[in-house]
Amino acid sequence: MADLQPSVLVVEDEPAQREVLAYNLESEGFRVIKAADGSEALLLIEEEQPDLILLDWMLPGTSGIEICRQIKSRPAFRMTPVIMLSARSEEVDKVRGLETGADDYISKPYSIIELLARVKAHLRRSRPATMGERLVYHDILLDSETHKVFRGEKELKLGPTEFRLLTTFMEKPGRVWSRDQLLDRVWGRDIYVDTRTVDVHVGRLRKVLGSHGGEDLIRTVRGAGYALG
């Protein structure tokens, strides 16, 4: 079952460095996915859909720069934060990395404390609920830390699935989510759930959100899926 634990893909060919990064990220509560080269990374990105990617520049075979370019060329992952890690510290290299599409650039050797701070900063922008942030849309407030939802002054009672659905919608207002995308994000890939189940839970969420007479803010997009607003 899916949850709000943020996931980080670590792409690093040096085993010791990869394990150090994984250990520190896991200690901070992140779910870590590990790849030793670019080809493995591209497969895991499709399979795991990580919330953030730590990408080493110097990889065997395809370079981190090219992997970053390929990641950012895919519409589904264009907004996934990529932090480039590199022993190249010259300004021209940093500019090249950022121009390729990387969201941040950290030179080696780096401080683990600084790296974790940057990871959290990017996730607060891209997946605020995973970092315990409050989400607000119109008159709806979702507190991801206490798992409480309010509409105006009224607290709403949502089941865990409806809570994850609403979180997904509120993190990306206006984005149209297909049923398959919602299944991956809300239910996870480890269990089989029929796409019609999405319709059932969206219906339940709508009912609770409208239980005090509020406007229906969930939009059905024919042939595409659902969106908030």
Residue 96 inside a domain? The answer is yes
> Of all helices (H) and strands (E), which one includes residue 182?
helix 179-182
- The predicted pLDDT at position 111 comes to 93
The structural domain count of the chain equals 2
Residue 55 inside a domain? The answer is yes
pLDDT digits (tens, 9 = 90+) for 32-50: 999 999 999 999 998 888 9
pLDDT over 80 (residue 2): no
- Are 61 and 161 in the same domain? no
pLDDT over 90 (residue 92): no
Per-residue CA distances from 222 to 8, 46, 73, 193 (Å):
33, 25, 26, 21
Q: Which domain holds residue 143?
A: 132-228
> Of all helices (H) and strands (E), which one includes residue 162?
helix 160-171
SS3 23: helix
Provide the whole-model pTM. 0.77
pLDDT digits (tens, 9 = 90+) for 164-213: 999 999 998 999 999 988 988 888 766 677 888 999 999 999 999 998 88
Q: Which amino acid is at 19?
A: E
- Are 72 and 167 in the same domain? no
d(CA 38, CA 43) in angstroms, rounded, equals 9
- Are 12 and 121 in the same domain? yes
Residue 1 inside a domain? The answer is no
pLDDT digits (tens, 9 = 90+) for 135-153: 999 999 999 889 999 999 9
